[in-house]
Amino acid sequence: MTILLAPMEGLLDFVLRDILTRAGGIDRCVSEFIRITDQLLPERVFTRIVPELNTGGRTLAGVPVRAQLLGSDPVCLAENAARLATLGPAGIDLNFGCPAKVVNRHGGGAALLDEPETISAIVTAVRRAVPAQLPVSAKMRLGNHDDSRAVECALAIAEGGADELVVHARTKQQAYRPPAYWDRIADIRAAVTIPVVANGEIWSVDDARRCREASGCDMLMLGRGAVTDPGLALAIKASIGTPAEPSSAGAANYPGSVGITWPTLVSLLAEFWLVVCTRLDARSRAGRLKQWLNFLRRRFPEAETAYQTLKSINDPALVDEWLSGVVQATKRQSSAT
């Protein structure tokens, strides 16, 4: 079982990648997309979006990060991939799944699923432009408006030289509405010879089991499910008997790996806030914490209380004061038990 952390623009950036990989269970990450239009980007653009390039292409927990490129021009993508390759990523991923209108309007992301010939040209050009030992992967949806060309697009990716394919089991038209059509991933898996990773609507251990059964994939990619429950990857691995190695922050709270506990999550929130305060502009800090709490409250009642307390607070000093109090209260409760 291999578990990947999904790229999610505006949510799963380097800060959350750092913290979620500290929780354990994640084997590899893919960055948010780096948009390629008509120019060769300077190195600082790559390192700004994927600062892990400055630490050997890995998060501080040691988890590899593949940098994702998005665009529609094979030549320009290849030139930028060649430059990116010199910066030491764990691999290069290509985006054929973004459903954003602004991206699709310019022929990128999921819009390319109507053009398997262009997809093939992009993958072929990028594969030729980077060293043979550097993995090149791709992420696609089942289609743009429908899934009639899903297998055709997957074959274009595989025959173009990609080493791995992630399939989000919905079309662009279906957006993020449940269900995910995992059985269609099985059709793609049967058609290509490269490893296929299943993605979409994996919120729980039971979802992961059903996804594996329907898709036939032993590799899963988690997105919103991992943001909502940082212990999900560990719990999935424990459920199938795969040894998981939680970080020191989570190890004591995983008897049987049935889910992360609130005391562990408080520690992760404190680490998250420290990174946010160190790396982000002051105006963005409170909003980033509230964004994560908004996801966490779906799983943790305590996070709902925290979210309601902080939702109107934007002063980082007040957030810092609140979080310090929560950390101290959690320590007292843990000592008492």
Give yes or no: residues 43 and 192 share one domain: yes
pLDDT in tens, 232-254: 999 999 988 655 444 433 333 33
Residue 26 domain boundaries: 2-239
82: CATH: 3.20.20.70
Residues 193 and 288 in one domain: no
Q: Are residues 149 and 46 both part of a single domain?
A: yes
Please report where in the chains the tokens 């501080």 appear, as a residue.
60
Sign of the dihedral defined by the CA atoms of residues 49, 53, 59, 60, in that order: negative
Q: List the one residue out of 143, 150, 156, 146 whose CA is nearest residue 117.
A: 156
Which residue from 155, 154, 181 is spatially nearest to 170, judged by alpha carbons? 181
In whole angstroms, what separates CA 49 from the centre of its chain?
14
| Residue 98 known to be catalytic | yes
Q: Are residues 183 and 93 in the same domain?
A: yes
Whole-number pLDDT of residue 250: 36
Q: Which residues of the chain, if any, have pLDDT below 50?
A: 244-258
Per-residue pLDDT, 246: 45
CA distance 233 to 222: 8
Q: Does residue 231 share a domain with residue 94? A: yes
Which of 146, 140, 131, 141 is closest to 82 using CA atoms? 131
Q: Choosing from 29, 76, 98, 153, which is the catalytic residue? A: 98
Residues 76 and 139 in one domain: yes
| 37 close to 76: Cβ distance less than 8 angstroms | yes
Same domain, 27 and 144: yes
Rounded to whole angstroms, how far apart are CA atoms 134 and 94?
A: 13
Examine residue 249 and state whether it is found in any structural domain, yes or no: no
What's the CATH code of the domain at 290?
1.20.225.30
185 with 327, same domain: the answer is no
**168 bridge partner residues:** 141, 199
Residues 225 and 318 in one domain: no
Q: Shortest CA distance to 3 belongs to which of 83, 64, 54?
A: 64
- Count up the domains in the chain and report the number: 2
Given a contact cutoff of 8 angstroms between Cβ atoms, the answer to whether 215 and 198 are in contact is yes
Are 275 and 158 within one domain?
no
Q: Fill in the amino acid letter for 258.
A: V
Residue at 14 is within a domain: yes
Looking at the fold, whether 96 and 130 belong to one and the same domain comes out as yes
Burial of 210 (0-12, 13-18, 19+ CB in 10 A): middle
Q: Do residues 332 and 200 share a domain?
A: no
Question: Amino acid letter at 178?
Answer: P
